[in-house]
Amino acid sequence: MSGVGAEQSRRSHQLTDRVAIVVGGASGLGDAISRRFGQEGATVVVADIDEPGAKAVADAIVADGGNAVAIACDVTKSADVEAMTTAAAALGPRIGVLVCSAAIESLTPVLDLSDEEWQQVLDIDLKGPFLCMRAALPHMVKGGGGSVIAMGSTLGLIVAPGHPAYCAAKGALLNLCKQAAIEHAPDNVRVNMLAPSATTTGLFMKHSGKAPDPDALRAKIAAGMPMKRLGDPNEVCDAAVFLASDQSTYLSGAVIPLDGGLAARRIV
């Protein structure tokens, strides 16, 4: 089935027996994944530093017939992450899924990158997922298993000029995932990464929106993709449900590129 459209057919209720935490769920891909998990029957914890945004997503899931709560959480603060995870664990029989989607992107080349900007990106994009895993993994172990899904990026696999902090954080996040995956494989806890290229939501749309002609820039980037188009958030949601569900019980320590073949390509 195409990843785009056919909304009703996606409600296959594959996640009914589990709490799913989506960190960074207030916007973009985290928002889309939260809503899809709600449709799949999960009890969704929409965690984000943007509390009104998280509440809007949780309210929309509930209005759509699902179960969701919003919890304010700054991923760089271990006390916030611990409190959020404890609250999530009280909502159901087990924390079955953790999605680490919160991130920022900086577009500053190496020689112009300040200590502060470097540290901010590393704190949110790398330390944040570490703190979330450290807090959630014991609950998953106790519950007999679980699935951690880290949102990486094509830029964590291959790089592009002007993204040193983001590329470094996403590249390191992949090895963190592999490390957590092997440490917790005996516990039936799986840890995988989704690595999208530019999609029609979130950070890509925000950053490209600052260009003098956003549509022209987006069209140029789409034309440079092997599939000649940008990714759709629904395609990321399809992969997230696969990783969160019992369809992928022997898959761990892996990175799934959602890039239309981009990272596989050598240009000339």
167 in contact with ligand NAD (CB under 6 A): no
- List the catalytic residue out of 34, 166, 202, 256: 166
- Contact window for ligand NAD (CB under 6 A) among 11-19, 74-82, 216-224, 238-246: 74-82
Cβ–Cβ < 8 Å for 240, 256: no
41 in contact with ligand NAD (CB under 6 A): no
Q: Which is nearer to ligand NAD, 125 or 143 (CB)?
A: 125
Query: How many residues of this chain bind ligand NAD (CB under 6 A)?
Result: 28
Q: Which is nearer to ligand NAD, 19 or 204 (CB)?
A: 204
H-state helical runs in 91-161:
115-122, 128-142
166 carries an active-site annotation: yes
37 in contact with ligand NAD (CB under 6 A): no
State the Cα–Cα distance between residues 25 and 119, nearest whole angstrom.
Answer: 22
State the Cα–Cα distance between residues 49 and 73, nearest whole angstrom.
Answer: 5
Cβ–Cβ < 8 Å for 204, 232: no
Cβ–Cβ < 8 Å for 149, 102: no
What is the closest distance, in whole angstroms, from the C-beta atom of residue 15 to ligand NAD in the complex? 19
Interface pick for ligand NAD out of 199, 208, 234, 245 (rule CB under 6 A): 199
252 in contact with ligand NAD (CB under 6 A): no
Q: What is the token pair recorded at 241?
A: 């449900």
